[in-house]
Amino acid sequence: MPNLCILYRPLIFLSLLLSPAGAAQAAHIIGGEVTYECLGWTGGDPNSGTRAYQFYMNIYRDCQGGGAAFDSAPGAAFNATATVFRASDDEPLMIINLGSPTINFVDPEVGNPCIIVPSNVCVQQGVYTFPILDLPVLDESYYITYQRCCRNNTITNIIDPGGSGATYSIELTAAAQAVCNNSPTYNFFPPPVICASEPLNFDHSATDEDGDQLVYEFCAPFLGGGLNFDFPFEEDGLAPNPESRPPYEPVDFLSPFYTPTKPLGVTTDIAIDVNSGLITGTPLDLGQFVVGVCVSEFRNGELLSVVRRDFQFNVTTCDPVVRADIAEDNAVGADLYISQCANRNVFIINESFDQAFIDEYRWEFDLGGGRDTVLSTWNALLDFPEYGTFPGRLLLNPGSECGDTANIIVELFPEINADFSSSYDTCVAGPVQFTPEIEAGAAVVNYAWDFGNGDGSSNEAPNYKFAEAGTKLVRLRAIDENGCRDSTIKAIDYFPVPALILVSPNTFEGCAPASIFFDNLSEPVNTSYTTFWDFGDGGTSNDISPTHVFTKEGVFDVQLEITSPIGCVTDTIFPALIRVEPAPVANFTFSPDRPDNFNPEVVFTDLSTGVDQWFWQLEGPVTSTLQHPTHVFRDTGRQEVRLVATHPLGCQDTAVQVVDIRPQTTFFLPNAFTPNDDGLNDVYKGKGFLRGYSGFELLIWNRWGEVVFSSTDPQEGWDGKFSNSGQPAPQGSYLARLTYTGPRGEPVRIQSTVTLIR
């Protein structure tokens, strides 16, 4: 479908914002070139030895991104200058002040009348006309040069584009001076925007009024100027004045991916014809690319001039403005296919775009037998006389450059009707045989069975065994070789009895009472089946998978009978499936039966029956697996001791007893002391173990009933003086009585006769 109408998507890379502040005075240049015209001898006098020249310079700028204006234009930051050099001199021959340029807008739609360019694309041409220069004819070259910073910061194929300025220069060779040569001038400026993956054909030719031979090639643009904002007129400044002398350095391409001769990428086939200047190829990569083109001028094999131009190709994705399209079923090459089964009335939906650019639309169809149909409606409703294949097309704006055509093929096929049957042995849980019964006008090439449970098959006549009983919704989808399809759903009642009865557990040994869950693993079985269990101990159940408690000891046979909803019966006896033994009994004693903190060692004696393993929890983390363990308790108090006794079949029983480790206290009162300050037995004081006591009181009386000493501190003794501070008590007998409360609140009273000896 050839298409000449192209819509460019927004070119976000055309924005030229730079930083730091002031960069907007630099970023604007997107191309340019210098040419000249020889006006003859100065004053028309060959004896003058000088020729008059008119030089022209075209500079191209982005007028959308907020970059600098053309130099010397109203409001521009700098005046435009050009510098003339002689090849043999280091210093400039002259500096030319250029006036305001003539500004023209470059039409981005040139070459394609259907291009629609977004509003953010703007390119201006500034045409500078130099003052007429009278230059002596020399045996060496003149160079006329203009330099300016900078290029767009968004350029793809060169290094540091925002800091790379441009040099536009032309060499006036000695050979060109001798013959009063006129340089070639390019005929067209390249389109600012080109389409990725679309063929490019751009005439980049030049015209030479002298009829000299022109040779074209891609070449490297030159660098010039820089980002020196503080000194803008230096060689590395924004607008060098004077410009630097040749030779000039080429821009740095991002090699190896981009080169001067492959500016759009080494994998892109863009080329320029050496003789015609025609640029052809298909751009692939999106981006903004600097391109240099040189046209060399020869006369009689001698090089007269080289006009070097650089410009930017902005490659973006393009959408067609006018495109013929329909809601098709398939596309093969340029043909759009509509396939329909069982109906010769065809409604074709027109999905062409953009309707705003479509002025005329026409449908043309060949119905066979010399019968043609032409419609001028937006959508097409067609009544075909028979089944078959019919070619046609949709034409948009026929005869216009902004037109397009869609080739359409309508395929009409007879219908297909899907059906099937099924069979299985109702009393055996085997597979179901499915047999397709299909009416079709062509061979069936695809069968898709859906058994309603996530499983399926692509076999023509599958056998399938359902894991569970029930009413199954089975679907068959069939497709014939024409792509016609049909489907049907049927309900299949699947209620066979299991081919094999399986239960879990398949054996059991345990102790009474034994609670056992019988898991019925037979397939297929569900709640629509009748089940009967006989557990052999007199118990029965009708549950599918019951739980039964065996309370008696013995060996029991288990029987299961299953009846399907349609009356088929199967049963099985599992002999000696269950073995139940007496339950273990845990019991123990301990000795002594009244241990205390002075006698904390306790011996435990196992009295359990029917066990062969013991696990004792004695005190805190202390455990034992001995049958008769001995333990020394570390603390007083009531300790819960637990014995878990295990039967050889794993059954367990637990016995728990409380062992009381009684806290005990002791205290001794002496019967005499000698307070004579000899350091021996000078103080009357008791001794003992009083852990956990309270309410301690010691009283001592003389023979007249007078209290001579009292204390509530077990560590304080009597020194033989009245209240340990008065006069010494006389030698003789005294009565001492001690009272306190034991650890568990029991009262303790000790009384003794004390003899004081001096």
CB 617 within 8 A of CB 641: yes
- Residue 314, pLDDT score: 87
Question: Which of 191-195, 522-526, 558-562 ranks highest by mean pLDDT?
Answer: 558-562
In the chain, count H helices and then E strands. Answer: 1, 60
Phi and psi angles of residue 42, each rounded to the nearest 5 degrees, phi first: -60, 125
Q: Indicate the residue type of 383.
A: D
- Residue 357, pLDDT score: 84
Give the N- to C-terminal CA distance of the chain in Å, as an integer.
141
Lookup: tokens for 193: 């925007």
Q: What is the pLDDT of residues 436-471, one digit of tens each?
A: 999 988 999 999 999 999 999 999 999 999 888 888
Q: What is the pTM of this model?
A: 0.50
| 3-state DSSP assignment of residue 577 | strand
Burial code (b: 16+ CB inside 10 Å, e: under 16) for 154-180 equals bbbbbeebbbbbbbbbbbbbebbbeeb
- Residue 606, pLDDT score: 94
Q: Identify which of 652, 651, 618 has the alpha carbon closest to the alpha carbon of residue 633.
A: 618
- Residue 110, pLDDT score: 54
Rounded mean pLDDT of 697-722? 92
Grade residue 745 by pLDDT with cuts at 50, 70 and 90: confident
Lookup: tokens for 405: 């055509």
DSSP string, 331-353: EETTEEEEEEES--EEEE-B--B
Say what percent of the chain tops pLDDT 90. 66
Q: Identify which of 348, 338, 319, 433 has the alpha carbon closest to the alpha carbon of residue 390.
A: 338
Task: Give the separation between CA 227 and CA 150, rounded to whole angstroms.
Answer: 8
In the predicted structure, residue 699 carries a pLDDT above the cut 90? yes
CATH topology for 416-494 is: Immunoglobulin-like (2.60.40)
Q: Cα 713 to chain center, whole Å?
A: 79
In the predicted structure, residue 29 carries a pLDDT above the cut 70? yes
CATH number of 666-756: 2.60.40
DSSP category for residue 68: P
Q: Cα 474 to chain center, whole Å?
A: 39
In the predicted structure, residue 27 carries a pLDDT above the cut 60? no
CA distances from 45 to 38, 132, 142, 684 (A): 14, 16, 21, 154
Please state which of the ranges 343-347, 370-374, 395-399, 592-596 shows the lowest mean pLDDT. 370-374
CATH number of 510-573: 2.60.40.10
Q: What is the pLDDT of residues 346-381, one digit of tens each?
A: 999 999 988 888 889 999 998 877 778 889 999 999
Q: pLDDT higher for 69 or 142?
A: 142
In the predicted structure, residue 403 carries a pLDDT above the cut 90? no
∠ at Cα 361 (356, 364), nearest 5°? 160
In the predicted structure, residue 87 carries a pLDDT above the cut 60? yes
Q: Which residues, 6+ apart, have CB-to-CB distance to 552 below 8 Å?
A: 512, 537, 580
Grade residue 660 by pLDDT with cuts at 50, 70 and 90: very high
Task: Give the separation between CA 608 and CA 587, rounded to whole angstroms.
Answer: 5
Q: Which CATH number is correct for 588-661, 3.20.20.10, 3.40.640.10, 2.60.40.10, 1.20.1370.10?
A: 2.60.40.10
- Residue 428, pLDDT score: 82
Lookup: tokens for 53: 């020249």
Task: Give the separation between CA 548 and CA 544, rounded to whole angstroms.
Answer: 12
Task: Give the separation between CA 548 and CA 517, rounded to whole angstroms.
Answer: 7
Rounded mean pLDDT of 238-252? 95
Rounded mean pLDDT of 331-338? 83
Q: What is the pLDDT of residues 472-514, one digit of tens each?
A: 999 999 999 988 999 999 999 888 888 888 899 888 888 889 8
In the predicted structure, residue 18 carries a pLDDT above the cut 50? no
Rounded mean pLDDT of 275-289? 93
Average model confidence (pLDDT) across the chain: 89
Rounded mean pLDDT of 616-628? 94
Q: Are strands 193-195 and 302-316 parallel, antiparallel or unpaired?
A: parallel
CB 304 within 8 A of CB 38: no
Task: Give the separation between CA 458 and CA 446, rounded to whole angstroms.
Answer: 7
In the predicted structure, residue 1 carries a pLDDT above the cut 50? no
- Residue 73, pLDDT score: 93
The alpha carbon dihedral of 27, 28, 29, 30 has a sign of positive
CB 51 within 8 A of CB 174: no
Q: Which residues in the chain are classed under CATH 2.60.40.10?
A: 322-413, 416-494, 510-573, 588-661
Q: What is the pLDDT of residues 91-117, one digit of tens each?
A: 999 999 999 999 998 876 654 556 566
Grade residue 66 by pLDDT with cuts at 50, 70 and 90: low
Rounded mean pLDDT of 575-583? 91
Phi and psi angles of residue 724, each rounded to the nearest 5 degrees, phi first: 60, 20
- Residue 2, pLDDT score: 41
Task: Give the separation between CA 754 and CA 698, rounded to whole angstroms.
Answer: 13
In the predicted structure, residue 170 carries a pLDDT above the cut 90? yes
Phi and psi angles of residue 541, each rounded to the nearest 5 degrees, phi first: -160, 150
- Residue 151, pLDDT score: 87
In the predicted structure, residue 12 carries a pLDDT above the cut 90? no
Rounded mean pLDDT of 510-530? 89
CA distances from 208 to 120, 187, 307, 308, 593 (A): 35, 10, 11, 15, 132
| Polymer length of the chain | 758
CA distances from 685 to 667, 736, 758 (A): 11, 11, 17
Q: Which CATH number is correct for 322-413, 1.10.150.120, 3.30.465.10, 2.60.40.10, 3.40.50.970?
A: 2.60.40.10
∠ at Cα 754 (670, 692), nearest 5°? 45
- Residue 186, pLDDT score: 96
- Residue 26, pLDDT score: 47
| 3-state DSSP assignment of residue 165 | coil
Rounded mean pLDDT of 695-712? 92
In the predicted structure, residue 11 carries a pLDDT above the cut 70? no
CB 717 within 8 A of CB 733: no
Q: What is the pLDDT of residues 118-149, one digit of tens each?
A: 666 788 899 999 999 999 999 999 999 999 99
Grade residue 194 by pLDDT with cuts at 50, 70 and 90: confident
